């Protein structure tokens, strides 16, 4: 019985290991921590036309598995993940954790909430 309970608790802990942050806490982490990776997992069209968080890297969630080897050099850094509403970024956060990333943070309610709080946004594609 103890073994079953331990297994259930352990799987629950891994299922929700990444941390959700509201937009203000997400922004504070970007400001406070100088060595973070900001990962935008939306489409290129959303990134360009709807705006993006300054300094973010665009890797759409659909192709994230293809970039996992390139991202491995960031395993020791904090990875801040966002999308439009927080759903795709939650899936991306789970994927990153399943691949060994330990410091993953999801922007709860996505860039919608970020913009609602008048936080900085850039438009267009990076050159």
Q: Which residues are annotated as catalytic?
A: 83
Half-sphere exposure of 80 (CA within 13 A, CB side): 27
For residue 123, what are the contacts with CB-CB under 8 A and spacing of at least 6?
A: 48, 49, 51, 52
Candidates 103, 102, 64, 107; CA nearest to 89 is 107
Candidates 19, 16, 33; CA nearest to 107 is 19
Candidates 23, 32, 33; CA nearest to 86 is 23
Q: What is the DSSP letter of 18?
A: S
- How far is Cα 35 from Cα 87, in angstroms, rounded to an integer? 25
């Amino acid at each position: 019985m103890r073994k079953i309970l331990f297994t259930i608790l352990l799987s629950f802990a891994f299922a929700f290991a990444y941390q959700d942050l509201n937009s203000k806490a997400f922004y504070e982490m970007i400001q406070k921590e100088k060595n973070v990776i900001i990962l935008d997992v939306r489409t290129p069209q959303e990134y360009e036309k709807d705006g993006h968080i300054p300094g973010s890297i665009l890797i759409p969630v659909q192709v994230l598995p293809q970039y996992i080897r390139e991202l491995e050099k960031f395993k020791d850094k904090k990875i801040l993940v966002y999308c439009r509403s927080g759903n795709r970024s939650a899936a991306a956060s789970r994927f990153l954790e399943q691949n060994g990333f330990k410091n993953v943070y999801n922007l709860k309610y996505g860039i919608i909430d970020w913009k609602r709080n008048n936080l900085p946004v850039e438009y267009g594609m990076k050159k």
